[in-house]
Structure 1
């Protein structure tokens, strides 16, 4: 299924395709503060509808994950990284997707604080 999403002000817009049935929450220092519910997809499933120049990027700790956010409204719609075997992935914040019933999703907790 194809989903549309954006930051709050719409400066970052995107489409993502895949089967959305479960999400991951994380208690690491940034995810806990953002309150993101992440859906991991191959990076090729994410299509930006706005230029990459509309985004800002934040990295921390090992600087492996590019946390993308809107410099105007501050919302973090997704992040990008590579798996240990080199596959490009995107972590979509499903709270930024249109018309998704969050209560219908299976939520799995990840203990990122312990990494």
Structure 2
């Protein structure tokens, strides 16, 4: 089952290819600021519908991915690899989807600030 969500103003629309089973809440320096939770899919399976000038990228740290936000309303929508490779992942901010979907997904807490491990198993 596909799920469609959008940023606050609707300029960026995202379609997930399936219902996620789990999502991740991370406490790294970026995620603790922009929130979450995040769901992950294979690169190329998430559909992003937006005008070319509707999104703005932010690149930090090891410069392997870019965090994307709507240029109009500021909502962070997803992150994507800078150099897409087969089997790579695509992170989608689940906060842009129906609250019922968010409530149906098990959230796992990830310590991206220090240990780089899930806090519960």
TM range (shorter): 0.7 to 0.9
**Does the 8 A contact of 1:94 with 1:100 survive in 2?**
no
The residue that corresponds to 1:28 in the other structure is: 28
Once residues 4 and 66 of structure 2 are traced to their aligned partners in structure 1, the CA distance between those partners, rounded to angstroms, is 21
**Does the 8 A contact of 1:15 with 1:46 survive in 2?**
yes
Q: Which structure is higher in RCO with an 8 Å CA cutoff and minimum separation 6?
A: 1
Aligned length: 114
- The structure richer in helix per residue is 1
**Does the 8 A contact of 1:7 with 1:73 survive in 2?**
yes
The residue that corresponds to 1:105 in the other structure is: 105
Task: Give deviations 1:29-51, integer Å, cap 9, x for gaps.
Answer: 11001111000001221112223
Most deviating of 9-18 and 101-110? 101-110
**Does the 8 A contact of 1:18 with 1:45 survive in 2?**
no
Query: Where does structure 2 lack aligned partners over 5 or more consecutive residues?
Result: 117-121
Task: Give deviations 1:57-76, integer Å, cap 9, x for gaps.
Answer: 00111111210001111100
TM-score by length of 1: 0.87
Query: Where does structure 1 lack aligned partners over 5 or more consecutive residues?
Result: none
TM-score by length of 2: 0.83
The residue that corresponds to 2:77 in the other structure is: 77
Once residues 79 and 64 of structure 1 are traced to their aligned partners in structure 2, the CA distance between those partners, rounded to angstroms, is 10
Question: What stretches of structure 1 move > 2 A for 4+ residues in a row?
Answer: 85-88, 98-104
